[in-house]
Chains A and B, each alone.
Chain A
């Protein structure tokens, strides 16, 4: 006996067959234990998926960060401009400056906090960056995002390596450089956006 195809099984559990097709599949399943098991298995998965609740609890502090960014809007950037200037002056100074700021959105991470969790200042600047990026011309915004994405991948790769080789000095230095570069790109985007909307140089 030829078994039902995956497509037939899926269309059957989705109710997407014509009455005649449906009857044919049902008749086959009644005589074929293998295909009946397939149908039952897919149904179980579907029932579980459809029963998933949509009420994850958002991370604590997320609202405060959103409200701060939303209120500041395109005029935000008092902090971001200061951050950009400080970034030009050197990473250590920035770290000290940012660490003293209240953190509206401390990432909720359960493990590997020292390696994985972003600095609160990164979350803050990321919010400013999102607002700034969206105010720029689409092509410029896309180019910026590609740059940030590539740095994110480098950061992720290095974090992953650090889980394998915790405390490796060269990896930690690489991670710090990538994070510093990411902050710089985002801060530059914010000042760029600000200059654009103030009619200044772009």
Chain B
């Protein structure tokens, strides 16, 4: 089973990467170690992604990352919160994908920030993005604020570890090997030219 992890953290070490790794680990445990995990660090691809905007095509390095993501059986996508939303780099990566490339793909979303006050980014920014891409986003999305790394849950919420485990189980439950065609698109079918001609014929 193939699991792709997209992480948009910029620092090293990065709490975004840390959350991504914890989520990947949770999924892996649920799958009984059967997951082949590829991590895509968007920081390393920042200029390649910008180049794609300028040239209109991904270079070899970016193509490899795109293929890993679109060919995976499940995807974990984690971003830091920037200016009340996902980071520009995170959005840019998904902007250069074919809009149909993630159709039907199980996705687990996560975000990190300095304060828990930004946690609705998951539901107000991340979920709509993946809804547009027709991905299947699991119910539990995981937000890790700085304080979450040190504390447990409270009366209203599970602690970070519990949320990670729940989200990981949800993604693992949806993943099926080979359920998604590698690039999300079926082989190009030729529409015979007579059909085009017929479609422009004026009504008689």
Is B a genuine binding partner of A?
no
